């Protein structure tokens, strides 16, 4: 059974755009196959065989994105509580060892983008922050050691 994933409106739209792009790519590859067929003997036609392999790859990607969309659920952000860290919380934390303040938004795994400050609720840091309140200290075991983060602020 596939796992249900929760998405923001923006994240769901990006997934739909990815599917559309894959369908366009599939159409282009199918055209390349048709052109390669016209060249004659398919047994020694490297272009034809490469295009067939590419088509199979694109079709697998399409199936994967379609499954993700089938299992996707849209989050109603208006019903979320700001008193605890949860999915879609924007959390300001202070690293108690270095004194640095960081800000993360907790998102579903499909929307995670560390460079934009979006971390997955399934990542070690994401899991460690879930259900914490302002003032709580999350002690999270990461590959580099123990990370101690104090919850400074929670918002949406």
Considering the domain architecture, whether residues 82 and 142 belong to the same structural domain is answered as: yes
Q: Which of 142, 138, 156 is nearest to 8 (CA)?
A: 156
CATH for 31: 1.10.287.180
Considering the domain architecture, whether residues 58 and 99 belong to the same structural domain is answered as: no
pLDDT (mean) for 133-144: 92
> pLDDT at position 42, please?
67
Considering the domain architecture, whether residues 82 and 144 belong to the same structural domain is answered as: yes
Number of domains in the chain: 2
Distance CA 137, CA 14 (A): 34
Would the pLDDT of 80 be above 80? no
Distance CA 106, CA 9 (A): 15
> pLDDT at position 144, please?
87
> pLDDT at position 135, please?
94
Considering the domain architecture, whether residues 51 and 10 belong to the same structural domain is answered as: yes
Considering the domain architecture, whether residues 27 and 41 belong to the same structural domain is answered as: yes
Q: Which of 75, 81, 76 is nearest to 132 (CA)?
A: 81
Domain end among 51, 74, 97: 74
CATH for 134: 3.10.50.30
Considering the domain architecture, whether residues 68 and 84 belong to the same structural domain is answered as: no
pLDDT band at 2 (very low <50, low <70, confident <90, very high): low
Distance CA 65, CA 37 (A): 29
Considering the domain architecture, whether residues 106 and 54 belong to the same structural domain is answered as: no
Domain end among 74, 99, 133: 74
> DSSP for 37-97?
HTTS-STT-HHHHHHHHHHHHHHHHHHHHHHHHHTEEE--GGG--SSS--TT-EEEEEETT
């Amino acid at each position: 059974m596939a796992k249900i994933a929760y998405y923001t409106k923006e994240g769901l739209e990006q997934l739909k755009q990815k599917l559309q792009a894959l369908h366009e790519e599939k159409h282009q590859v199918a055209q390349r196959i048709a052109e390669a067929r016209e060249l004659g003997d398919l047994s020694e036609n490297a272009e034809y065989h490469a295009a067939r392999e590419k088509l199979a790859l694109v079709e697998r990607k399409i199936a994967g994105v379609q499954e993700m969309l089938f299992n996707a659920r849209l989050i109603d952000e208006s019903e979320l509580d700001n008193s605890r860290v949860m999915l879609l919380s924007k959390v300001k934390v202070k690293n108690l060892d270095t004194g640095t303040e960081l800000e993360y938004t907790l998102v579903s795994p499909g929307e995670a983008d560390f460079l934009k400050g979006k971390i997955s609720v399934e990542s070690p840091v994401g899991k460690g922050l879930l259900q914490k309140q302002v003032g709580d200290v999350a002690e999270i075991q990461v590959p580099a050691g123990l990370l101690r983060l104090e919850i400074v602020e929670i918002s949406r």
